[in-house]
Amino acid sequence: MSKYVNVIYVITMKNNNLENKNDDVCDVFNSHEDIVDRVKERIPEESEFSELSEFFKIFGNPTRLKIISLLCIEDLCVCDICEALDLNQTNVSNQLRILRANNMVKYQKEGKMARYSLTDLHIEMIYKIGLEHILE
């Protein structure tokens, strides 16, 4: 790390009251085998962590989050999403394609319209819990 980056890191840590005073670690390293064994039995497989990480990356785009927020309120056609977010159809369609490929949204054709909805309640719950957390 460069000296400049280190200085920014230290300033940021101090500004966030996260300066490490070594009071956030055990004074003596002595793991508890019974607890460690118990949690190791229940921890997901490495492949599941990789999948979960990829899943959460989908939530890492503001436009996709905005689309999800709208679809938490009501099923919408692409035109309505574009209007509500003041975005062009190409941008919205690209984000919807990503959400669809990751099984987060689905669509139903209604004549010439494609009406989008969330695939299930889990997506809405994840979105709302995340929002609730940052608003605390």
Structure tokens at 125: 């719950």
* Partners of residue 106 on adjacent β-strands: 117
Q: H-helix or E-strand containing 107?
A: strand 105-110
Confidence of residue 85 (pLDDT cuts 50, 70, 90): very high
In this structure, are residues 95 and 61 in contact, taking their beta carbons and an 8 Å threshold? yes
> Contact, 104 vs 58, CB < 8 A?
yes
d(CA 58, CA 51): 11
Tell me: the pLDDT tens digits for 64-78?
A: 999 999 999 999 999
Q: Identify the pLDDT of residue 23.
A: 78
CB of 30 within 8 A of CB of 54?
no
pLDDT in tens, 28-53: 788 899 999 999 999 999 999 999 99
Structural class in CATH, domain 61-134: mainly alpha
